[in-house]
Structure 1
């Protein structure tokens, strides 16, 4: 069952990728303070994630800040080397933080995982977006169809912030 509004973010060890580099961290350290918008993607450099999902957040990063968001975080079940390369290639560092969940432990702990073994990808995150305030989930948006970025996209999350 997926994490739901009112539930705290579980403490899972991950790699935190920022403009300062890559560091070992707990998800509660990354997501536990302030207002955070976290979106989850199946994989770095994958078609929809790379061409549609991440770019929407990059284009609206200042809008999120103006709406009171302290941090935008992208979580993906890739190793930190791939995540760092993706962040650099998309010029995201400094605007978006990344969680590299190489073994999909955070994805599984939150119930936001998706089995993509049939496509050769193993366990990954599904496509979701959350609003988290001081470590507690307030909103969870989930895409209903693969390859879509509607409910978890930046415009939908900006609208959800207005409802808080």
Structure 2
């Protein structure tokens, strides 16, 4: 069953790129006492994710933070090196590029999709959520497109 509004985020250990290489971080640490926007993409460097989803949050990061958001997190079932390179390619300095390399976070949320037919394995669904001190306040999922998971949709919901 997928996570719902009102549920507490599962505390899963993932990775971010630190100054000296990959560093472990927990979703609990990232969200404790913070208002956070988390958005997930099926894959870094994939067409829609690279052309529209991540770039929208890069452009709107200041507007989102001006609405009281402490942190913006982008996650994908990719390794730390890929997430770091993808963030750098899009100048995503204001966004935490969170690597869910084994899909543990996506699985814990119940928000996976099977992309094995396209040789992509099990990936995250495309979603965006607003989380306040670890509790989900808004959860939008897009099967196709970015109508409810774009930075614009999140800005409108804040």
Residues 98-119 of structure 1 deviation map (CA, whole Å, 9 limit, x = unaligned): 1100000110000111111111
Is this contact kept in 1: 2:41–2:127, CA < 8 A? yes
Q: How does 1:121-136 map to 2 (within 5 A)?
A: 121-136=120-135
Following superposition, the deviation at residue 159 of structure 1 comes to 1.0
Is this contact kept in 1: 2:17–2:81, CA < 8 A? no
Task: For 1:150 and 1:18, locate their aligned partners in 2 and report how far apart those are by CA, in whole Å.
Answer: 33
**Aligned pair count?**
158
Following superposition, the deviation at residue 31 of structure 1 comes to 2.2
Is this contact kept in 2: 1:16–1:23, CA < 8 A? yes
Following superposition, the deviation at residue 33 of structure 1 comes to 2.7
Is this contact kept in 2: 1:18–1:96, CA < 8 A? no
Report the TM-score, using the length of structure 1 for normalisation: 0.92
Q: Could you tell me which residue of structure 1 aligns to residue 62 of structure 2?
A: 62
Q: Could you tell me which residue of structure 1 aligns to residue 105 of structure 2?
A: 106
Report the TM-score, using the length of structure 2 for normalisation: 0.95
2:149 aligned counterpart, secondary structure: coil
CA RMSD of superposed structures (Å): 1.4
Task: For 1:79 and 1:103, locate their aligned partners in 2 and report how far apart those are by CA, in whole Å.
Answer: 8
Q: Could you tell me which residue of structure 1 aligns to residue 141 of structure 2?
A: 142
Task: For 1:67 and 1:21, locate their aligned partners in 2 and report how far apart those are by CA, in whole Å.
Answer: 32
Q: Could you tell me which residue of structure 2 aligns to residue 118 of structure 1?
A: 117
Task: For 2:7 and 2:104, locate their aligned partners in 1 and report how far apart those are by CA, in whole Å.
Answer: 17
Following superposition, the deviation at residue 126 of structure 1 comes to 0.8
2:143 aligned counterpart, secondary structure: coil
Structure 2 unaligned blocks of 5 or more: none
Is this contact kept in 2: 1:18–1:97, CA < 8 A? no
Q: Could you tell me which residue of structure 1 aligns to residue 83 of structure 2?
A: 83
Does 2:114 match 1:153?
no
Following superposition, the deviation at residue 22 of structure 1 comes to 3.5
Following superposition, the deviation at residue 2 of structure 1 comes to 1.3
Q: How does 1:6-85 map to 2 (within 5 A)?
A: 6-17=6-17, 22-85=22-85
